[in-house]
Amino acid sequence: MLLMDGVGWSRMVERTEAYFDDHKVVEDLGRRALRGGIVSLVMQYGNGALQLVGAIILARLLTPEDFGLVAIFIVVTSFAPMLIDFGLGEATAQRSRITPGQISSLFWFSTAGGVIVAVVSAAFGPLIASIFHDPRLGPITLCASVTFAFLGVSSQHMALLRRTMQFGAIARIQVSSTFVGVVVAVAMASYGYGYWALVLRPIASALCVVIGSWFLCSWKPGLPVFDSEVKSMMRFGLHVVGFSVAYNIAKAVDRIGLGLFYRPDVVGYYQNATVLYEYSILLVIGQAQAVGTPSLSKLRSDPVALRQKYEAALSVLAFFLMPIAAILSVTAQDITVLLLGEKWHVAGSLLSIVAARGIFQVVEGSQAWLHLSLGRPDRWQNWGVVTLGVQLMAVVAGLSFGPTGVAAATVLVALLIAIPSVVYAGGSIGIDAALVIRAVGPQLVGAIGILAAGWGLQIAILSDFQSLIRIPLSVAFCTFLYLLIVAGVFGLTGPIKLVGSVARDLMRTR
C-alpha cells in the first residue's frame, strides 16, 4: 500500500512539474497543435451542440422578454470576467518559463479579483435597474454576480491546462459544465421560474468548471512569490485585459444600445440570434485562439517559422469556417424557426445578417495569435480601443433602423477591420495584407460566392419548399459550389489533405 502510494505520489509530482516546463520548439509542433485543435474543436462543437439543445428547449419554455432581461445583465457586465482573470491566464499560457510560486501569486490575485468583482457587480444592481427602467434587473444582478467569484478560482488551473496543450481536458470540463447548467436551467424553466432559469444556468456551469479544473489539473496553489517575473506577467496581463474589456464592450454595445431604446423582447430576439452565431462561429474562433497562442508562442525566437505557421493555420481555419458562416446566413431563417419555434422568426431574420460577420471575423480573430505569441499585448490593447470606437459609431448609426440596422452595421465593421487588424498585429515579422490575401483569398471568394448564390437559390427556386427540404438542399448546393470554386478553380486542397492526415493519425493513436 505504501509502495503504491509512493508511486502515485511520484506520478502526481511528474504531472505537476510538466506545467512548469520551459516552452521549447519541437519538430512536429504544427501537427501537434493541429491534432490538439481538431480534438478540441470536435469536443467544442459537441459542447456547442449541447448548448444549442439547451437553447432550443429554453426558447420553447420561456419568452423573448425573459431572454432580453438576462441579456441586458450579461452584456452590461460582459467585461467583468476580464477584470477577474486580468489577462493572467494568457500570461501563464504564453510565458516561456514559470514557477509554482509565481502561479500561486497569480492564483490568489485572480481569486481576490473574482470576489471583488462579484461584490461590486451586486452593488450596482439597483443602478442597472434604474438605467434600463426595469426593477427586475436588481435581483437578477445580485444573484448572477456569484458567477464571477467562481471564475477567479478556476482561472489559473485552466491556464495551466492550456499551457501544456491539454485541450481535450479543457473541452471535457466545458462540456460537463454546460450539461449541468442546461439541466438546471431546463428544470427551473419547466417548474415555471421564468427568467431565473437563465440566471442560475451560468452559476451552475461556473461551479462545475471550478470542480473540473481542480480535479484535472494536479497543481495546487501555495504561498505567493512576488518577484520581478510576477510583476512582468501582471504588466502583460494588464494590456491583455485592456484589450479584452474594450473588445467585449464593443461586442456588447449593440445589445446595450437596443436595451436603452427598445423593449426587452427586441433585445431577446437579437440576443438569441447572436447566441446561435456564437455557438456555430465564434466558438471555433475562440478555441482557435486557445490553441494558437501557446503553439505559436514556442516560435517567438524564429519569426520566419512563426509567420509560416500562422499563414498555414489561418488558411486551414478560413477554409472550413468561412463557408460555414455563409451557409448559416443562407439557412438562418429556416434553422431558427425549426429549432426555436415560430415565435422566434424575427431572430432568424437577424441571424441571416449577423452570420455574414463570421466570414470576416475568421481573419480578425487571428490577430490574438500574433499579439500574444509575440509578447505584445500592449498593441493588442491599442487595437481593442480602435475596435470599440469603430463599433460604437456603427451601432449609433444603425440604431435608428432598429435591430436590423444594428446587425448590418456590425457586419460592415467586421469587413472594414479584418485585414488591418492582422497587419497591425504582425507587421513586425513581415505579415502584410498580401500574406493575408494569399492565405484566405480563395476561401473568401468562395464564401462570398455561395452567400450570393445561396440567397439567389432561396428566393428564385426554393421559396415554396418546406424548411426541412430547403435546408439540406441549400447546404448541399452551397457546399458543392464552394468546393468547385476553392478546390476546382483555385486548386486549394491542402487543408482537406492536412486535416485528413491528422484525423488518420488520431485514429491510429486511439
Q: Any alpha helices (H) in 124-166, and if so which ranges?
A: 125-131, 137-144, 146-163
- Mean pLDDT lowest among 258-267, 371-380, 397-406: 371-380
Evaluated on CA atoms 266, 387, 33, 492, the torsion sign reads: positive
- Does the pLDDT at position 437 exceed 90? yes
Instruction: Measure the CA dihedral 240/243/246/251, to 10°.
Output: -100
Residue 68: domain span: 32-509
CA 132/CA 257 separation, integer angstroms: 10
Residue with cell 442560475: 200
- Mean pLDDT lowest among 2-11, 73-82, 155-164, 390-399: 2-11
**Given pLDDT bands bounded at 50, 70 and 90, which one contains residue 8?**
very low
Q: List C-alpha distances in Å: 128 to 114, 204, 272.
A: 20, 23, 21
Q: Are 233 and 105 in contact (CB under 8 A)?
A: no
- Does the pLDDT at position 58 exceed 50? yes
Residue 333 in grid coordinates: 431563417
**Given pLDDT bands bounded at 50, 70 and 90, which one contains residue 410?**
very high
Q: List C-alpha distances in Å: 18 to 166, 170, 218, 314.
A: 11, 16, 10, 29
- Is residue 12 situated within a structural domain? no
More confident residue, 200 or 167: 200
- Is residue 20 situated within a structural domain? no
Give the per-residue pLDDT at 341: 83
Give the per-residue pLDDT at 436: 93
Give the per-residue pLDDT at 233: 66
Each residue's pLDDT tens digit, 454-510: 999 998 898 888 888 999 999 999 999 999 999 999 998 878 777 676 666 656 665
What is the chain's alpha carbon radius of gyration, rounded to the nearest angstrom? 23
Buried b (16+ CB within 10 A) or exposed e, 298-318: bbbeeeebbbebbbbbbbbbb
Give the per-residue pLDDT at 227: 64
Give the per-residue pLDDT at 87: 59
**Given pLDDT bands bounded at 50, 70 and 90, which one contains residue 238?**
low
- Does the pLDDT at position 254 exceed 60? yes
Give the per-residue pLDDT at 368: 81
CA 289/CA 435 separation, integer angstroms: 19
Name every residue whose Cβ is closer than 8 Å to that of residue 386 and which is 6 or more positions away in sequence.
417
Q: Out of 68-77, 314-323, 377-386, give the one with best mean pLDDT.
A: 314-323
Identify the H or E element spanning 378.
helix 377-399
Average pLDDT score, the chain: 81
User: Which amino acid does the sequence have at 471?
Assistant: I
Instruction: Please provide the DSSP assignment of 34-103 as one string.
Output: HHHHHHHHHHHHHHHHHHHHHHHHHHHHS-HHHHHHHHHHHHHTTTHHHHHHTTHHHHHHH-S---HHHH
Mean pLDDT of 385-402: 90
- Is residue 2 situated within a structural domain? no
**What proportion of the chain, given as a percentage, has pLDDT over 90?**
27
Q: Out of 32-36, 91-95, 363-367, 376-380, give the one with best mean pLDDT.
A: 363-367
- Does the pLDDT at position 12 exceed 50? no
Q: Out of 54-68, 171-185, 319-333, give the one with best mean pLDDT.
A: 319-333
**Given pLDDT bands bounded at 50, 70 and 90, which one contains residue 384?**
confident
Give the per-residue pLDDT at 42: 62
Name every residue whose Cβ is closer than 8 Å to that of residue 269 and which is 6 or more positions away in sequence.
64, 68, 344, 346, 347, 350, 403
Q: Are 268 and 66 in contact (CB under 8 A)?
A: yes
In the chain, how many domains are there?
1
Give the per-residue pLDDT at 74: 81
- Is residue 183 situated within a structural domain? yes
Other CB atoms within a 10 A radius of the CB of residue 489 amount to 12
Residue with cell 439541466: 183
**How far, rounded to the nearest angstrom, does the alpha carbon of residue 103 sit from its chain's CA centroid?**
24
- Does the pLDDT at position 39 exceed 60? no
CA 102/CA 504 separation, integer angstroms: 40
More confident residue, 298 or 127: 127
- Is residue 229 situated within a structural domain? yes
More confident residue, 187 or 98: 187
Q: Are 478 and 453 in contact (CB under 8 A)?
A: yes
More confident residue, 243 or 180: 180
Residue whose C-alpha is closest to residue 269's, from 71, 40, 74, 489: 71
Q: Are 102 and 233 in contact (CB under 8 A)?
A: yes
More confident residue, 389 or 218: 389
Name every residue whose Cβ is closer than 8 Å to that of residue 389 and which is 6 or more positions away in sequence.
none
Give the per-residue pLDDT at 13: 44
Name every residue whose Cβ is closer than 8 Å to that of residue 484 and which is 6 or more positions away in sequence.
none
Give the per-residue pLDDT at 255: 87
CA 297/CA 295 separation, integer angstroms: 5
Mean pLDDT of 232-243: 67
Q: Out of 13-17, 120-124, 248-252, 442-446, give the one with best mean pLDDT.
A: 442-446
Give the per-residue pLDDT at 474: 94
CA 181/CA 201 separation, integer angstroms: 5
Mean pLDDT of 288-317: 77
**Given pLDDT bands bounded at 50, 70 and 90, which one contains residue 100?**
confident
- Does the pLDDT at position 444 exceed 60? yes
- Is residue 221 situated within a structural domain? yes
Long-range contacts of 458-462 (CB under 8 A, 24+ apart): 458/330
- Indicate the burial class of 430 (C-beta count within 10 angstroms; 0-12, 13-18, 19 or more): exposed
Give the per-residue pLDDT at 88: 57
- Is residue 384 situated within a structural domain? yes
